[in-house]
Amino acid sequence: MVYVLLIDAVSAVAALALWYFVFSSYNRRKGAAALRWVQSACAGKGRILDSQWLGSSRLHARLHFPSRWFENAHVTMKFRPRALPVQWLVSCWHRQKETLTFEADLDASPNFNLEVFRHRWCAHNRGITRTSVTRNNNGVTRHNNKDEREWDICQPGPIVLTTRTHWKEDPAPELNALMSARHQDILQVRFRPESPQFCATVNLESLADPRAAAGFLSALRELAAGASAHRQ
């Protein structure tokens, strides 16, 4: 009996090791492709200095741009934790996206803290169940419960949460830049005085499209320019 349990344990460990090796290799191949997407997005105006893996699902890379663009720039790519079965199942259950986060310091330090999250749609159902009555030729009545939920779907406008006691009604330039860069599928933008002063998170798969990748750096530049205009 002990011998059988030992064989089962060794088999389980070997299966987990094989799983880890296969899916770690898959993430590394996907990371290499993502680095090519980032290099393509830089469009000759920046380059990747080096890259390193932080575990089996995070890839960190340092970037270099001309002066007065971005300083101390780097990206962190977050992939699904495929090498760890339990974490992978949890990420699939929560439908977590694979993302790229760009962080850098700006030429002029922002004098404000701002976080923008993108939420495209909002919906709720009324939970209405309708009952239909049918009568056949023999006079037998049947009641059919039909679940027809009525959905109210809306696209919310901008919502600003602020700690300021007085808020200016005119929109900030960085918010306008974010709205103009909506085709880049930017999920989150953050400005703050401390380093890193600028942070933007985008859906990683959106950079697989060459046209979207070509406009990614321009979108980041527009957001950074909006922060500079706000400071002035």
- Tens digit of pLDDT per residue, the chain (232 long)? 767 777 778 888 888 889 889 999 999 999 999 999 888 888 778 889 999 999 889 999 999 887 677 889 999 999 999 888 888 888 888 888 899 999 998 877 777 777 777 655 555 565 555 555 555 555 555 555 555 556 666 655 656 666 666 666 555 555 555 555 554 567 888 888 888 888 989 888 888 887 777 777 877 887 777 665 555 5
pTM of the prediction? 0.73
DSSP 8-state secondary structure symbol assigned to residue 96: P
* 172, 145: one domain: no
Report CA 5 to chain centroid distance, whole Å.
43
Is 48 strand, coil or helix? Answer: strand
**97-to-19, 31, 32, 94, 187 alpha-carbon distances in Å:** 21, 15, 18, 9, 10
Q: How many domains does the structure of the chain reveal?
A: 2
* 103, 172: one domain: yes
Is 157 contained in some domain? no
- Domain enclosing residue 13, as ranges: 2-119+162-231
* 31, 141: one domain: no
* 215, 175: one domain: yes
* 131, 113: one domain: no
* 171, 144: one domain: no
* 24, 127: one domain: no
* 208, 144: one domain: no
Q: Which of 187, 172, 181, 190 is nearest to 217 (CA)?
A: 181
* 181, 223: one domain: yes
Question: At 72, phi and psi to the nearest 5?
Answer: 50, 45
* 110, 178: one domain: yes
DSSP bridge pairs for 191: 114, 198
* 100, 7: one domain: yes
